[in-house]
Structure 1
Amino acid sequence: MAATVVRAGQVCSASAEGRLDIRIEDGRIAAVAPHLPAEAGDHVIDASGMLVLPGLIDCHVHFRDPGSPERESFPTGTAAAASNGVTTVLEMPTSDVPVTTAERIEKRGRHLTGRSFVDFGLYAGAGRGSLDDVAGCASAGAVAFKTFTHSPTAARAAAFEGLWAVNQPDLLCTLQAVAATGRVHALHCEDDSLLEYFASKDDASAPFGVRHRNSRPPVVEQSAVAAVTALALETRSRIHLVHVSTNHAVDIACAARDIGVDLSIETCGHYLTLDDRTLDRFGSHAKCNPPLRPADTREALVRAVRDGRIDIIASDHCSYTPDEIAKHSDDPQHALPGLPGIEFLLPTLMHLVTAGGIPMRQAVACLTSAPARRFGLKGKGDIAVGYDADLVVVAPDAPAPFSLSADYHASGSKNAVYLQGVDLRGRAMTTLVRGVPVVAGGELVGSPDHGKWIRAE
C-alpha cells in the first residue's frame, strides 16, 4: 500500500513542533522528521506555508441521531466536523431515546456506523432511574457517562430520562455507580433548587437577555460545582465538568483538584469569544445553558486557559430547526438552549491564539492531546510515531466568517448568527482520518462509511 507524506508544514502538537514532514503508512504515523524522502508511488501533500495539527477531538457534541435527525444528523454533523479538522467526536446521550442501557448503546452504535465521516465515541447517561444499567453501559463500550444536576423541563423530559440527579443522595449514588466503572463522569453543573428560585423571580416585562441571565446567575453553576466536587472527593470519582462558564467555578474546581479530586475542566468556544452583549443582541439564537457571561468573565476564562487551569475546549454543538428557535423568541423560559458551534471550532481555536493570546501549542492541546488523555482515546490527539494519522492541514489566515449565504454542512450552522462580526480565520484544507483524506483542497471528499466507532475498553 502506498504511503502518504505530508511535507514541509509547520507542525504543532504535544510531541512535535516545527517545520517537519510526516510519513503515513497503513493509517498510522510512521515517521516525523525534517526532510523525509518520498518513495516511488507515495502520495505527497504539500503543506508548505500551512499549519499541521493533530485532528481535533470534540468531546461534547449533540447530533440527535437517530432521535431528531431534522435538528442534526450524524452525516451532517460529522461532515461539518471534518470540514473543520475535527477527526473524533464524542456524542452525548441526550436523545428522544436517551442512551442509558447497554442495548441502547449497541443499537445507537450500529445505527451510526456507516453514517459518520469521522471516528466517534458514545457517552451513556447516569442518574435517577438508570443506575442499575451503569455497569452494563461500561461493558458495552461507553467512553464516559453524563449526568445533569438539574431536572429537565416538561418539554424535554423524554430526552433526559435517567440522565439527572438533583438531590445530594441521588447524586452521591450516581457518582458511586459511575466511579465503580473507572470511567470519566461528565457533569452539567447547575443547582436545581436555585434554578427554581430564580425562575420564580422572572420579570416577563424585561428583555430576553436580561431574563435569561437573571434565571441562571453564576451562583447557580458555582453552587453545583462545589457540591459535585465535594461528593467526588468522597466517591473517588473521575469527574469532568462540562461547559464551565465562570472563572469562579474554575476557582472552586481547581481548589478541589488541589486537595485530591480527580477532575478535568471543559469550557466552550462561545464562552471564550462571546459575552452577554451577544445574548442581548441575538436573543434565542444565542441562548445556551449556562448563559453567556459578562466580558470580564470571558476574559478571566481566557486567562484560565492560558494558565493551564482549564484543560479542554469543546463545541457543545447543539442544533435546532429555525422554526424551533423562532417559536419562543420572546420567552427565554421556553426557548430551547444550545448553540451550533462545530462548524466554527477550528477558526475559534485560531481566534483564541491571535486575539486571546493563548500560545498555539497550548490551545491545540486543549482540543487534541488533553481530551485524548482524559477519555482514554488511544492513538489519538498527537503527532507521534504509532499514532493514528488523524491530521488537519490548516490555512491559518484564510477568512472563515459566518455568513447566511454560505453552504454549511451542519443543519444548524445557519443558525449561528451569534457569530456575526467575529473575526474568524483558519480553514481546514486537508483533513485525514486514519490516513484517509476526508477533506481535500478545502472540500469534503470523504465517505460517511469511513468513521469508526470507538468503544472504551
Structure 2
Amino acid sequence: MTDSVIISGGTVLSPDGPVAGSVLVKHGQIAALLSPGETAEAARQIDASGLMVLPGAIDIHCHIRAPAYPQRGTVASETAACAKGGITTVFEMPITDPCCNAPDRVALRRDHFSQSAHIDFGLYAAPVELTEAAFDALAASGIVALKIFTTPAPVGREHEFAGLAWPHAADQLRVLQLAARIGLPVVVHAEHAGLLAQAESAAALLDPADAATHNAARPPLAEALAVAQLLTMNITAGAKLHIAHVTSADTVEVLRRFAGSSDFSAETCPHYLTYTADDVARAGVCAKINPPIRQAADRAALWDALSDGTIGHVTTDHAAFSAAEKAAHEGNFLTAPPGHPGTEVLLPTLLDAVALGRLTIGQAMRLVSGAAAQRFALPGKGKLAPGADADIVLVDMADETHVTEGGLLTAARSVARLSHGARFRGAVVHTLLAGQTVWNGSLTGAQGLGRFITPHHQETAG
C-alpha cells in the first residue's frame, strides 16, 4: 500500500483508445485500468478530472553531451526539462567528447547519467570498428541502438565523431550488415557527402548572414539521395534501419517509394513541423539546425507523412548550445554550431495537432511513445496497460502551453529563440516516472531517479 497510487477521474488512453476511468499503480507498474465506478485501495490518489491520462513520451533522439560541455547544461538540467515536457524516457546520442563508441565509454555514460537523471535513459553508441566482435561487445553493453552519419566528421570535432562518420557507401553497407546480425536498430543522419561538399563549396560564395545560405549548403536533394541509397542497400542488408530527422518533401517521397522494401522507419522533429526557413531568418543563428528547416511545402509534406504513416516517429533532436557559443557566430549561418533545444515542446507540438484535428490522441501518442517502445524493443514502455511501467503524463487539453525563455528548464533557454513566444493548445500538468511524481507545476523528482534502460526492458510486461 505504501507504494501505490490511483489516478482517477480522467480520460485514460488505453490500448483500445481513450476511455473514462482510473489507473491503479503498484510498485512502479500499472496494476490495473479501472472502469468508472470501480474502486481500489491505494496509499495516494491523484485527481485527474478533466485531464487526459497518457503514457509518458519517449524521446529517441537527444543530445545532452555532459560532462564534456558543462556550459550547455547537465544531465540534471536537461532531464528536468524532459520531465516538464512529459518525456519519461530519453535516448542520448553518442556525440560527446570523447565519442561514446566502446563498451567502457557506454559504462562511463551510464554511470554519469545514473547519478543525476530525473527520468529513465537509454544510450546510443557509434561503431568505431566494423567487425563482428566490436558490434557484439556494443550490444552486450546495453545500448538501445547504433548511430552513424553518412557525412565526414566536422573539422575540429573529430573526437566527438570517432566512429560516427562513415561517408562511403561500402562502409555504410557494412554497418547495416553488422547491425542486422546483432538485431539492434541503426539510426542514420542521412545526407549525401558528395552533394554536400559540392553545395557547401557553392554556398561559400553566398552571404553567410542570409539564412537561405544554410539551405543552399545542405539542400534537400542531399538528404533524399542519401536516404534512397541507404534504403537500397538495406534491401540486401536487412537491418532495422531508422532515418533520423526527415526535413523535406523530397525525402518523404523517397520513403513512400521504398515502402515495404525492408525493415525501416523514419522520424521528424517539432521544429520541422512548426517552422519554416522564414522563421529561421527571424531567429538568426540560434535557429541553425542540421539538416536545415525547409519551406512551407516541406512542412506540409511532413504533416501528411505523419498522417498516413510514412513517418512513424516524432522526436526532439534536442541539441543545446550556450548563448556564447551561438553569439560567437552571429551573422554566419555557415560556421554557427547547429542545434536547438526541443524537449519542452515535443509533446505540446503533438497535443496542438490533436486540438486542431490533424491527429487523434492515439496517433499523437504512438508517434512520441508507442512506436518508439516497439521499434527499440521496450515492451514495458509506451502504453498504459497492466504490467507496463507507470510512466504517465496528465495533460489538460483545455489549457495551453505558452513558451517563454524564463519558463524553460533547459540550460539553453536563451538560445531557444524559435520557440520563444510560441503557444500550443494543450499543456502537460503532471508527469510520473514509475508511479512517482517528477513534475507537477514544479520539479519534484529527485536526481538519480532515472534508470538505465536496455532493449527488452521488462520483456514480460503485459
Structure 1 equivalent of residue 57 of structure 2? 56
Structure 2 equivalent of residue 151 of structure 1? 152
* Aligned positions of 1:253-272 closer than 5 A: 253-259=255-261, 261-272=262-273
Matched, 1:448 2:450: no
Structure 2 equivalent of residue 392 of structure 1? 393
Distance 1:428 1:88 in 2: 16
Structure 1 equivalent of residue 237 of structure 2? 235
Deviation of the 1:296 alpha carbon:
1.3
* CA deviations over 1:371-409 (Å, ceiling 9, x no partner): 000001121000011111110111223332222333x22
Deviation of the 1:138 alpha carbon:
0.6
3-state SS, counterpart of residue 428 of structure 2: strand
Q: List, as ranges, runs of 4+ consecutive aligned residues in structure 1 with deviation greater than 4 Å.
A: 36-41, 127-132
* CA deviations over 1:171-230 (Å, ceiling 9, x no partner): 111222222111000000001111110011123336421110111111010010011111
Structure 1 equivalent of residue 125 of structure 2? 124
Structure 2 equivalent of residue 219 of structure 1? 221
Deviation of the 1:426 alpha carbon:
2.9
Structure 1 equivalent of residue 176 of structure 2? 175
Instruction: Check whether the contact 2:6–2:42 (CA below 8 A) recurs between aligned residues.
Output: no
Instruction: Check whether the contact 2:145–2:376 (CA below 8 A) recurs between aligned residues.
Output: yes
* Aligned positions of 1:330-341 closer than 5 A: 330-341=331-342
Structure 2 gap segments, 5+ residues each = 457-462
Give, as a single letter, the amino acid of the residue that structure 2 aligns with 1:331. Answer: N
Instruction: Check whether the contact 1:66–1:108 (CA below 8 A) recurs between aligned residues.
Output: no
Instruction: Check whether the contact 2:20–2:36 (CA below 8 A) recurs between aligned residues.
Output: no
Normalising by structure 1, we get a TM-score of: 0.95
Instruction: Check whether the contact 1:30–1:385 (CA below 8 A) recurs between aligned residues.
Output: yes
Structure 1 equivalent of residue 460 of structure 2? none
Structure 2 equivalent of residue 316 of structure 1? 317
Instruction: Check whether the contact 1:216–1:290 (CA below 8 A) recurs between aligned residues.
Output: yes
Give, as a single letter, the amino acid of the residue that structure 2 aligns with 1:325. Answer: K
Instruction: Check whether the contact 2:406–2:413 (CA below 8 A) recurs between aligned residues.
Output: no
Instruction: Check whether the contact 1:100–1:130 (CA below 8 A) recurs between aligned residues.
Output: no
- State the identity as a percent: 34
Farther-moved stretch of structure 1 (390-399 vs 7-16): 7-16
Structure 2 equivalent of residue 300 of structure 1? 301
Distance 1:424 1:443 in 2: 19
Distance 1:127 1:101 in 2: 8
Distance 1:333 1:207 in 2: 8
3-state SS, counterpart of residue 5 of structure 1: strand
CA RMSD, 1 decimal = 1.7
Distance 1:349 1:56, change over 3 A: same
Structure 1 gap segments, 5+ residues each = none
Instruction: Check whether the contact 2:349–2:424 (CA below 8 A) recurs between aligned residues.
Output: yes
Structure 2 equivalent of residue 414 of structure 1? 414
Give, as a single letter, the amino acid of the residue that structure 1 aligns with 2:403. Answer: F
Distance 1:36 1:382, change over 3 A: farther
Give, as a single letter, the amino acid of the residue that structure 2 aligns with 1:428. Answer: V
Distance 1:272 1:68 in 2: 29
Distance 1:20 1:69 in 2: 44
Distance 1:40 1:366, change over 3 A: closer
Deviation of the 1:169 alpha carbon:
1.2
Instruction: Check whether the contact 2:255–2:310 (CA below 8 A) recurs between aligned residues.
Output: no
Structure 1 equivalent of residue 45 of structure 2? 44
Deviation of the 1:424 alpha carbon:
1.8
Distance 2:37 2:347 in 1: 28
Distance 1:67 1:420 in 2: 27
Give, as a single letter, the amino acid of the residue that structure 2 aligns with 1:324. Answer: E
Structure 1 equivalent of residue 437 of structure 2? 437
* CA deviations over 1:120-144 (Å, ceiling 9, x no partner): 0001112567876222111111110
Distance 1:455 1:161, change over 3 A: same
Distance 1:60 1:291 in 2: 16
Distance 2:298 2:109 in 1: 38
Structure 1 equivalent of residue 358 of structure 2? 357
Aligned residue pairs, count:
454
Structure 1 equivalent of residue 292 of structure 2? 291
Distance 1:395 1:222, change over 3 A: same
3-state SS, counterpart of residue 90 of structure 1: strand
Instruction: Check whether the contact 1:129–1:162 (CA below 8 A) recurs between aligned residues.
Output: no
Structure 2 equivalent of residue 24 of structure 1? 25
Instruction: Check whether the contact 1:393–1:431 (CA below 8 A) recurs between aligned residues.
Output: yes
